[in-house]
Amino acid sequence: MKVLVLNGPNLNRLGTREPDVYGSTTYADLVELCEAEGRELGMEVEVRQTNHEGEMVEWLHAAADTSTPVVLNGAAWTHYSIAVRDACSQLTAPLVEVHISNIHQREEFRHHSVISAVANGVIAGLGVEGYQLALRWLALKK
C-alpha cells in the first residue's frame, strides 16, 4: 500500500522554527521517521513538503485519482484554505489530518480547521509521533 505524507508551508523549517512549539526534530528526521514507520508496517510511504498552495492541491488531486491514502499536515492552510479543503474532499481513500502542536492550545485563529470536516481523523498535539499513529491507523484500513 502506498501512502502520501503531505506537509504544508514552513514545515521544511522544523528543528529551527519555534522549537518550543514544534520540538527539535528536523524535517529530515521527520521524513526518516515516516519512511521507517512505513517499512515496519509494509507500506510505501512518500513524504513531501511544499510552501506553494497550488502544488499541494495538485498532489491531492493526484492522490484522489489514484485512491492513495493521505496523511496531511496542512500547516497554516489548515485554517483558511478552501482550495486545499476542496481538494481533500475529493480524496477517494482515507485522509488523516495531523498537527505537531495542539492547535486548540494556541492562538485563537488556529483553533478551527477547514480540513477536519472532510478528514477521517485528526491527530493534534502529539508531536511528530502523530505521523506514526496516522500511518498505523491507515495500515489497519488496508
Q: Residues within the annotated binding site for substrate?
A: 73, 79, 86, 100-101, 110
18 CB-near residues (< 8 Å, 6+ apart): none
Told to judge if 52 belongs to the known catalytic residues of this protein, a careful annotator would answer no
Residue 17: CB atoms within 10 Å: 12
d(CA 113, CA 59): 20
- Measured over the CA atoms of residue 10, residue 2, residue 81 and residue 108, the dihedral's sign is negative
Of 22, 52, 104, 131, the active-site residue reads: 22
Largest CA distance in the chain: 39
Told to judge if 112 belongs to the known catalytic residues of this protein, a careful annotator would answer no
Task: Enumerate the active-site residues.
Answer: 22, 99
